[in-house]
């Protein structure tokens, strides 16, 4: 798993973990909470089976624009829709605190300096 930061309009929103494999997609499962967020590339749907806390999910398009946001309690499923190509998962309430909204274009910066804007 890689680490870095999630940005909006050039400002850091939060610390970010990024999945490198399908096995890492359930990285929040078994945790008691989440500081920061998890970016799951290729996720068009998210489930919370085995989760111990509710999460917020922002589904992102190819260019990392937020196309849908939802809150999931444990043992629930959400789909991002046709445009969804990845998802950002975080503790419930975090997206609202950070001011993330549908239509925002996000950026993913890896700790090693690599930048991803979805293009």
pLDDT of 28 reads: 56
Within-domain flag for 95: yes
Cα 62 to its chain centre, rounded Å, is: 14
Structure-token match 């992102």, residue found = 60
Which domain, by its residues, includes 91? Answer: 20-104
Number of domain units in the chain: 1
Within-domain flag for 111: no
Within-domain flag for 6: no
116 - beta bridge partners? 108
- Structure tokens given for 80: 């991002």
Q: Residue 97: which residues within 8 A CB-CB, separation 6 or more?
A: none
Considering only the C-alpha atoms of the chain, give the largest distance between any 2 of them, rounded to a whole number of Å: 36
Within-domain flag for 112: no
pLDDT of 50 reads: 84
pLDDT beneath 70, residues of the chain? 21-33, 113-119
pLDDT of 30 reads: 58
Q: Is beta strand 11-18 parallel, antiparallel or unpaired with respect to 37-41?
A: parallel
pLDDT tens digits, 19-45:
876 555 665 555 565 778 999 999 999
Within-domain flag for 11: no
H or E stretch at 98: helix 94-98
């Amino acid at each position: 798993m890689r680490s870095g930061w999630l940005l909006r309009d050039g400002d850091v929103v939060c610390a970010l973990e990024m999945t490198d494999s399908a096995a890492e997609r359930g990285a929040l499962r078994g945790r008691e909470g989440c500081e920061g967020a998890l970016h799951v590339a290729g996720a068009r749907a998210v489930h919370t089976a085995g989760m111990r806390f509710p999460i917020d999910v922002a589904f992102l398009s190819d260019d990392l624009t937020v196309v849908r946001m939802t809150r999931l309690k444990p043992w629930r499923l959400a789909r991002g829709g046709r445009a969804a190509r990845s998802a950002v998962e975080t503790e419930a309430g975090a997206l609202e605190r950070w001011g993330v909204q549908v239509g925002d274009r996000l950026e993913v910066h890896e700790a090693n300096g690599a930048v991803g804007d979805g293009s």
